[in-house]
Amino acid sequence: MIRGIVRTLLLVWLAVLLVTCAFAGGFATSRQIFPPALPSDGGAPAEWKPYFPVFWEAWRYVQQDFYKTPIDQDALVNGSIAGMVQSLGDPHTAFIDAKRAAITATDLQGSFEGIGATVEMREGRLTVVAPIKGTPADQAGLLPGDIILRVNDTVIQNMDVTEAVMLIRGPKGTPVTLEVQRARQAPFKVTIVRGTIRVPFVEARMIEETSIAYLRLNDFGATAPDEMRTALHELFAQKPTGLIFDLRRDPGGYLTVAVDVAGLFLKNDQVVLVQRNKEGRSQELKTPGNGMASDIPMVLLIDGGSASASEIVAAALKDYGRATLIGVKTFGKGSVQNVHTLSDKSELRVTIAQFFSPKGNAINEVGVAPDIEVKLTDEDVIAKRDPQLERAVQFLQTGK
């Protein structure tokens, strides 16, 4: 009797187990053979739902029909996002892929691995602005005005400057071969071993045979205000009668750093800029603390490479009559971006506001005009002449 009951219970338990396993196995198999349909809108917000299916249709046709394989899926994603933000028509709302974002972040921290030369695109040609003193580029003999025609096997022409920089940079200790055009000479090749480049944000010195101090800011990076305070203390110990602050070719950086830097030359609680958002609301950003260099006679050097944070400082110093501006009109980037770091370390920079000078003067697409215009030509750079700096010295010495 007991054996019969046990046998029955075992059969029932076995049947339940088989049914359970069959159900579980069937459910798992059904998920493989009939996978759950992904939402055609990719989980998009309600207001996007009429548009998102078209995107997926285009994506599927590319995957299905494009003749080159394999397709670079990362490039497709990056291109899709870049195209979206470009359609907004704002040059400063931009998608920055992870590699470029890393370069920007590294630059603003003050060091990177590469050859140590400042470059820019001039008429589609990668041109050396200046090698950084003591770096591999300087030791290899690169000169201002040199044109880099080729990096290793890649021809450099009409290329985005960041892409060119990415080709030149690389791990410390590795070589890179450049084909260089210098003036009317025949092109030549030079192989440079990359190193760790420490770029000081600040350069300071007393100008020879004068009592005038010179202070240059290369970028509005994280440590720039502290470096400038240290430099100003050292310069003031030499009792200068005037100060030249050089923001030429300074592309900008952090907004908060711009406010701190302006605060070194202005009195406490003075407006540095007025920020206006898309609703038209205004916010004033003011100087913190007492400016340690708010009284010394001063000239500010600017040019077409002075942008963004540089223009904030230039406009404020001009509005208050704190400095005489010498050079040429600045770049004209008067907008503020929110920087969002995405999951793959790429960045989405979205313009959230425009900024104006303390007196409400527009900067975006306008720039800041000098009080005294002095041009610097390519011939001046090659010949190592600096008429803008010479004019600044003259002004501080004569007042004219």
- Closest by Cα among 204, 210, 132, 205 to 390: 210
- Whether 65 is a known active-site residue: answer no
Q: Choose, from 219, 250, 260, 308, the residue flagged as catalytic.
A: 308
**In whole angstroms, what is the distance from residue 325 CA to residue 43 CA?**
53
The pair of structure tokens assigned to 257 is: 């750093």
Q: Are 247 and 302 in contact (CB under 8 A)?
A: yes
The closest of 384, 388, 362, 363 to 373, measured between CA atoms, is 388
Q: Left (φ > 0), alpha (ψ -120 to 50) or beta: where does 201 sit? A: alpha
Q: Are 369 and 384 in contact (CB under 8 A)?
A: no
State yes or no: is 333 an active-site residue. Answer: yes
Is residue 306 within 8 A of residue 218, CB to CB? The reply is: no
Per the annotation, the verdict on 308 as an active-site residue is yes
**One-letter amino acid for residue 156 of the chain:** I
CA atoms within 13 A on the CB side of 299: 28
Active-site residue (options: 97, 146, 310, 333): 333
Which of 319, 335, 346, 357 does the annotation list as catalytic?
319
> Which residues are CB-contacts of 143 (< 8 A; sequence separation ≥ 6)?
128, 131, 182, 382
CA atoms within 13 A on the CB side of 22: 6
| Residues that are catalytic | 308, 319, 333
